[in-house]
Structure 1
Amino acid sequence: MTPAISDISLQIPVGAKVALLGPNGAGKSTLLHHLNGLKLPQNGSVSIMGVPLNKKSAKAIRQKVGLVFQDPDDQVISGTVWEDVQFGPRNLGLSEEEIEEVCNVALGSVGMLEFKSRAPYQLSYGQKKRVAIAGILAMKPDIVILDEPMSYLDPQGQDEVAALLQGLSFMGKTVLLSTHDVDFAVSWADMIILMKDGQLLASGGPELLTDEEWIRKSNLHLPRIARLFRMVPNLNVENLPKNEQEAARLLHKLINVQQIKL
């Protein structure tokens, strides 16, 4: 039997913003499920905050690591938003006062407090994504994992989720997500993990996504800004820009150099 993932060895720093990229079938979701304890390693080992993952520790690790599924309809299943978000804290044995507090804070942090009496079917897809994130935040995890959080969202929904992810980082959470969106990953993440065929190709800073060799090996494409600079004839740029700010600085530098030559 071919293993779903193998030959992966990496460490994720506390408080990091991590983007996991690779083609379909690369093993991204399988890796995320191992980090949450949803799946247990058959070989090798997984440690979360120094605690080895096994059958005995899986429940405790799931309290430290919250996993948001790709499809919120797999996660938001209770009769109302409030019932859904309070499910986790109630299972932790919190008092009614504590449940009230953590759920209000969680829903408020994702901008869904006013919708707490709504049924999930009355929400948009993006709103259900935010409720799913609130359900995880109510558990007060140290690590938040999201499987394709931008999928099937319109541009406004993507902007809202991006703001939420930035907010999680400001809260001191370690945030790890899988995505196909290289433009978002290169501008948001401070650590990139590239996978293909169930194996780790590379890990490092966001500059990996402007490295044309790694992009080719990962079956990805360069971010739009980097592609734009590559399309300009006779423009030999060693380090392609990763975002608008870097592009603006590089253009300013190139214009000044051209003026000097003139």
Structure 2
Amino acid sequence: MLAIDIQNVTYSYPDTTTAIENISLQIPMGSKIALLGPNGAGKSTLLHHLNGLKLPQEGSISIMGVPLNKKSAKLIRQKVGLVFQDPDDQVISGTVWEDVQFGPRNLGLSEEEIEAVCNVALGSVGMLEFKQKAPYQLSYGQKKRVAIAGVLAMKPDIVILDEPMSYLDPQGQDEVAALLQGLNFMGKTVLLSTHDVDFAVSWADTIIIMKDGKLLEYGGPELLVNEKIVREAKLHLPRIARLFRMIPDLNLERLPTNEQEAARLLYKLLNFQETSFK
């Protein structure tokens, strides 16, 4: 079963601005997907469609085989959890616990079930000990983790995050990256939008690149070391690729996408140099 099936979707805002135009994508279950593109590319609008916050004006979207429409939107939101870019838009209750239990309570779960799912959700993001804290007492990174816990408490099969790394310090970014990896290990399909090319190329198994509301490219991490594509998308090469790009007369068929590929390439180059001088 596909996690997400998007066919020829177009959406325009009331002022006639076309946010996304004729987008078609198919995303398998269990994927790790990074959505990239310049500001105004339509990334957030597309994410809002996948959670049922917006409905296609043209084309169709199916989530795990369920067609998205007005009648199915509530069911879709149970299957797809959306974490907003700014946690202050999502974490709004008096305490962390009240915020995380809001979704399960609206589903009609019993008090025992709510207690169980919220404890698991907060524990999975390392925030269980903060459950009686008010959101204003938390750091920005902690609030991001609470927002993710609120989504996880709904037990979605697909987790979507809009710019999860924005405004986080390096430690906060590392914590969120580990959490995203853990979600995928749990069997969840994880899709996020990001401007962080280095993170995307090292974490994702699928890359989606948008520009001007259209799908520019769709494929594996190797897309982000293709200089023509990166330039057209107004992105930049990952740091590791840029480093190898600066070495004269290297003539690589493809630049490395991550540290493991770079290490293997360096090992081959060093062995070649050593053999050449013998």
Specify the TM-score bucket, using the shorter chain as the normaliser. over 0.9
Q: TM-score, normalising length from structure 1?
A: 0.99
1:107 aligned residue: 122
* 1:71 aligned residue: 86
Where relative contact order (Cα < 8 A, 6+ residues apart) is larger, the structure is 1
**What is the CA distance between 1:238 and its match in structure 2?**
1.4
1:130 to 145, 154, 164: 145
Query: Once the 2 structures are TM-superposed, how far is the Cα of residue 235 of structure 1 from its aligned partner?
Result: 1.6
Q: What residue identity is the alignment partner of 1:248?
A: A
State the Cα distance separating 1:245 from its structure 2 match. Answer: 1.1
1:204 aligns with 2:204: no
Which of the numbers 234, 243, 261 marks the counterpart of 1:219? 234
RMSD (Å) for aligned C-alpha atoms: 0.6
The structure 2 residue matched to 1:165, chosen from 180, 187, 198, is: 180
Return the offset for 1:198. Answer: 0.2
1:206-227 CA distances to partner (integer Å, 9 max, x unpaired)? 1111111110111000000000
Q: Per-residue deviation at 1:105?
A: 0.2
Which digits, 9 at most, give the CA deviation of each residue in 1:10-69, with x for residues without a partner? 100100000000000000000000000000111111111111111000000000000000
Aligned length: 262
Q: Distance in 1 between matches of 2:66 and 2:250?
A: 50
2:4 equivalent in structure 1 = none
Report the alpha carbon displacement of residue 260 of structure 1 after superposing the two structures with TM.
Answer: 2.1
User: How is 1:159-198 mapped onto 2 (pairs within 5 angstroms)?
Assistant: 159-198=174-213
* Distance in 2 of aligned mates of 1:20 and 1:122: 32
Unpaired segments ≥5 residues, structure 2: 1-15
User: Quick check: 1:14 aligned with 2:14?
Assistant: no
Q: 2:58 aligns with which of 43, 46, 58?
A: 43
| Structure 1 segment 234-253 matched on structure 2, within 5 A | 234-253=249-268
Runs of 4+ in 1 over 2 A off after TM superposition: none
AA in 2 matched with 1:211? N
State the Cα distance separating 1:261 from its structure 2 match: 2.0
Report the AA paired with residue 56 of structure 2.
P
* Residue type of the alignment partner of 1:222: L
Match of 1:149 among 150, 164, 185: 164
Distance 1:90 1:24 in 2: 36
Match of 1:2 in 2: 17
What whole-Å deviation, never above 9, does each CA across 1:119-150 have from its counterpart, x for those lacking one? 00000000000000000000000000000000
Which structure is higher in strand share? 2
State percent identity of aligned pairs. 85
Paired letter, 1:28: K
